[in-house]
Amino acid sequence: MHARIAGVGGHLPGTPVSNDDLVRRGVDTTDAWIAARTGIRARHLAAPGDTASSLALEASRRALEAAGIKAAELDLIIVATTTPDVIFPSTACLLQGRLGNVGAMAFDVQAVCSGFLTALAIAGNFIRAGSHRKALVVGAEVFSRLLDWQDRATCVLFGDGAGAVVLEAADSPGILAAAAHADGSQHGILCVPGQISGGRVGGDPFLRMDGRAVFRFAVRVLADVANECCAAAGVPVSAIDWLIPHQANIRIIAATAEKLGLPMDKVVVTVDHHGNTSAASVPLALDAAVRDGRVRRGQKILLEGVGAGVAWGAVLLQF
Ligand SMILES: CC(C)(COP(=O)(O)OP(=O)(O)OC[C@H]1O[C@@H](n2cnc3c(N)ncnc32)[C@H](O)[C@@H]1OP(=O)(O)O)[C@@H](O)C(=O)NCCC(=O)NCCS
């Protein structure tokens, strides 16, 4: 039994907010600084009424339509998110209710920017084990809600969005290999340290980051986990048709591709359009490349990502 992607969908809320728009909104920055350091040109910001589940709903509808599968047929729904609608129930259950599905197993994965890869690996294992046949795997984030707009070193980097895939049991591949790791000793380099307790937010509720430490860590582990995943599947890195990395920073993406010996024309880059959308970034980039015809059936695709935890992972699949 294989677990194969049957359809992909994405959703970005509202209209793009350019780097110059941020300057007009009072952020002490420039388009030149942001573009040179990160490759980001624009991001999408959720409207006040948007939530992770409302963005997830749009992406999921598109993925289900592309797969030709009805929401009622799903027997597994996993949402990767760090910005759930509420503390509980899970965003996956809220999405399930919005989709009108009753009965599927539904739960969230919290692995921040590598959450979609973790969720995809989990869904793939359920399908290959034979317990489930049709899974919806979503990365959905309203990261703008965690941003300190006075902290120019972080607020320019992130955006909101959702991406989804429908994964189904199939006779042919499919997910070929998955790898995931974490190093909790590095939890302080990227975090939102606040907590809710006694009816109040305690501590600092905003995203905090040691950008240089994250950068160094990311480049090291992304190349390693890509090699690990390819070795596990017996697929040489040179045989990959597309590398679809977490869309955080073009310099991290380019440095990883260089370490892997992959030319940039084999790398899908969408970070310029939507910035870092955390768990949504990999499925959003996959969706863009499927819809514009770059990613085609039968091709070998390596998805990978890294983020807070620090947690990182990769999934190699035949599309
Ligand atoms: C965040 C990042 C772009 C910062 O780049 P950097 O080269 O490390 O820059 P620094 O933080 O050292 O700051 C350099 C200067 O730019 C300034 N600066 C920071 N943010 C700025 C902004 N938005 N606009 C203009 N200047 C800015 C700093 O104040 C500093 O000025 P100083 O030299 O006068 O003190 C880079 O570290 C990075 O991309 N890290 C990875 C982040 C990431 O992807 N995180 C998510 C992973 S899931």
Classify 261 as helix, strand or coil.
Answer: coil
With a 6 Å cutoff on the Cβ, whether 113 touches ligand 1 is yes
Mark which of 156, 172, 188 sits at the end of a domain: 172
Q: Is the CB of 220 under 6 A from ligand 1?
A: no
| Residue 249, ligand 1, Cβ within 6 A | yes
Same domain, 59 and 112: yes
pLDDT at 158: 98
69's CB contacts (< 8 A; 6+ apart) are: 6, 7, 134, 166, 168
Q: Is the Cβ atom of 181 under 6 angstroms away from ligand 1?
A: no
Q: Is 114 in the pocket of ligand 1 (CB under 6 A)?
A: no
User: Do 168 and 253 fall into the same domain?
Assistant: no
218 Cα nearest atom in ligand 1: 47
What pLDDT is attached to residue 15? 95
Maximum separation of any 2 CA atoms in the chain, in Å: 55
Q: Which one is catalytic: 19, 101, 249, 276?
A: 276
Helix, strand, or coil here: 179? Answer: strand
224 and 312 assigned to the same domain: yes
Q: Are residues 131 and 250 in the same domain?
A: no
87, 130: one domain? yes
Predicted local confidence at residue 156, as pLDDT: 98
113 assigned to active site: yes
Q: Is the CB of 38 within 6 Å of ligand 1?
A: yes
The atom of ligand 1 lying closest to the CA of 308 is 48
- Out of 29, 118, 215, mutate this one to test ligand 1's pocket (max ligand atoms within 8 Å of CB): namely 215
- Compute, in angstroms, the gap from residue 92 CA to the centroid of ligand 1: 34
Whether 129 and 195 share a structural domain? no
Same domain, 184 and 59: no
- For ligand 1, atom 3, the nearest C-alpha belongs to 37
* Pair of tokens at residue 273: 């359009």
Closest CA to 162 of 61, 11, 267, 2: 11
d(Cα 56, Cα 299) in Å, to the nearest integer? Answer: 26
What's the pLDDT at 107?
98
Is there an atom of ligand 1 within 6 Å of 95 CB? no
Q: Name which residue sits closest to atom 7 of ligand 1, judged by CA.
A: 37
User: For residue 266, what pLDDT is reported?
Assistant: 98
**List 2, 11, 132, 246, catalytic entry:** 246
- CA of residue 211 to ligand 1 center, whole Å: 6
Question: Is residue 132 annotated as part of the catalytic site, yes or no?
Answer: no
- For the chain, the domain total comes to 2
**pLDDT of amino acid 150:** 96
Same domain, 130 and 38: yes
The alpha helices in 160-233, defined as continuous H runs, are 211-233
* Spacing, Cα 231 to ligand 1 middle (Å): 35
Residue 33 Cβ < 6 Å to ligand 1: yes
Q: Residue of the nearest CA to atom 2 in ligand 1?
A: 211
Alpha carbon nearest to ligand 1 atom 25, residue = 29
pLDDT of res. 139: 98
155 a catalytic residue: no
Q: Quick one: pLDDT at residue 236?
A: 97
**CATH of residue 296:** 3.40.47.10
Specify whether 185 is located in the same domain as 239: yes
What is the C-alpha separation between 58 and 99, in angstroms, rounded?
A: 10
Say whether both 113 and 225 belong to one domain: no
Q: What pLDDT score was predicted for residue 77?
A: 98
Domain boundary among 131, 146, 172: 172
- Between CA 159 and CA 12 the distance in angstroms is 9
What local confidence, expressed as pLDDT, does residue 280 receive?
A: 98
pLDDT tens, per residue, the chain with 319 residues: 999 999 999 999 999 999 999 999 999 999 999 999 999 999 999 999 999 999 999 999 999 999 999 999 999 999 999 999 999 999 999 999 999 999 999 999 999 999 999 999 999 999 999 999 999 999 999 999 999 999 999 999 999 999 999 999 999 999 999 999 999 999 999 999 999 999 999 999 999 999 999 999 999 999 999 999 999 999 999 999 999 999 999 999 999 999 999 999 999 999 999 999 999 999 999 999 999 999 999 999 999 999 999 999 999 999 9
Domain hosting residue 63, numbered range: 2-172
Helix (H, G, I), strand (E, B), or coil: what is residue 269? coil
For the Cβ of 82 lying below 6 angstroms from any atom of ligand 1, the answer is no
